[in-house]
Amino acid sequence: MDLFDKYAPFSDRYGQLEDLGVDPFHMRVEKILSPTRAIIDGRETILAGTNNYLGLTFDPTVIAAAVRALKTQGTATTGSRIANGTYPGHIALEKEIADFLGRRSAIVFPTGFQANLGILAGLAGSKDIILLDADSHASIYDGCRLSGATMIRFRHNSPADLDKRLHRLAEKQVNKLVVVESIYSMLGDQAPLDEFAEVTRRHGVSLLVDEAHSLGVFGDRGQGLVAELGIEDDVDYVVGTFSKSLGSVGGFGASNHPKFDILRYTSRPYMYTASASPSNVEAVIEAIKQIRARPNLREKLWDNARDLYRRLTDIGYQLCAPVSPILAVNMPNEETAIYCWNELLKAGIYVNLALPPGTPNGACLLRASLSAAHSPNEIKTIAGVFANIAARAALKKQPERVGL
């Protein structure tokens, strides 16, 4: 027996995927040129799968803030927040996030994944129940498991199914927490948050919303979908990440609950990990300031998303959700998805290849995520390459290869 024997099926499948072309899970970015360009396999490539929604990774003011922190505070804190890892920047960032979202307080974590682990495992315990959307991110599932709470899944984006399950649990005198996302990362579909809020309010249970892919994208000031819908008072907890619109690394939880800060002393993922580096912290503070001051970034992002959505649907591709900064193109099977992904990469276009089991309902996807930094010509080029792949397949009398 060997500890790795249990992974034999995964190893065999991985070998089959490698035989179909470039290894999609070990693709290397050789050199970053800009928010939308890189050198991959020796070719200049348009990046259309980075989640860099507002293009702030190369913003001069954000870079300057990070550099100042590196020079004055060093590369790392080398300690947890409850030891020596709390710097003035951590406090300032938590205040900035709380003010930005209109919340009483916020807690910062070193990664977005840890934010979900820490908040969920801190809020819920073994005697509690967490009801979560079936398509929730892995960090949400892992946070639920770490909490020890009873975990109940409801159908994706179905307030009716959540309502039915809460009715069944009405007699159980335990704490219940409902967890949903604003925008789901694989398909780019939007949750009916106002309907979920109505259900949780009616049943008197708490609601947590993960705004990882909606912060900076929705709302008059980029505060997220909760703010855009005006349901802040119905959402008890908000979590999010710094690695998307904010162009850094880290995550947060925020709430109006007067006892929220007790999680600093009860949440193990917060207590026992080194705090976020000063350069990441200061970069996020400046990124939030840029989001506040430059609504044109969101406008440009949505212009790009609508443009590429229209072009892809005009070609004949099947997209998995209405227009959003995440555009997931449905593929009929793994072989076709890998073939098209390789053809795109050879032509200088990088998108995400998403395959089961990491996708909803066994879908095979080519997932693009747009940025405010993409130029109109880059959007046109991306669509042109997708069109060329479709045209080549049609000449071979194999339109099914591109899911048309």
CB 383 within 8 A of CB 311: yes
**Would you state the pLDDT for residue 404?**
42
Q: What is the domain partition of the chain in residue ranges?
A: 16-47+295-402, 59-293
- Write out the two tokens for 250: 């880290």
Say how many C-beta atoms besides its own lie within 10 A of residue 259's C-beta: 8
Q: Which amino acid is at 345?
A: L
- C-alpha to C-alpha distance for 237 and 122, rounded to whole angstroms: 12
**Parallel, antiparallel, or unpaired for β 176-181 and 129-133?**
parallel
**Would you state the pLDDT for residue 9?**
82
Fold of the CATH domain 16-47+295-402:
Aspartate Aminotransferase, domain 1 (3.90.1150)
What contacts 24+ positions apart, CB below 8 Å, involve 163-172? 163/199, 163/202, 163/203, 165/131, 166/131, 166/199, 166/200, 166/203, 166/205, 167/203, 169/129, 170/203, 172/129
User: pLDDT tens string for the chain (404 positions)?
Assistant: 899 998 888 777 777 766 766 666 778 899 999 999 999 999 999 999 999 999 999 999 999 999 999 999 999 999 999 999 999 999 999 999 999 999 999 999 999 999 999 999 999 999 999 999 999 999 999 999 999 999 999 999 999 999 999 999 999 999 999 999 999 999 999 999 999 999 999 999 999 999 999 999 999 999 999 999 999 999 999 999 999 999 999 999 999 999 999 999 999 999 999 999 999 999 999 999 999 999 999 999 999 999 999 999 999 999 999 999 999 999 988 888 888 998 999 999 999 999 888 899 889 999 999 999 999 999 999 999 999 998 765 544 343 434 44
pTM, two decimal places: 0.94
Fold of the CATH domain 59-293:
Aspartate Aminotransferase; domain 2 (3.40.640)
What residues contact 102, with CB distance under 8 A and at least 6 apart?
A: 223, 227, 232
User: Could you give phi then psi for residue 253, rounded to 5 degrees?
Assistant: -130, 145
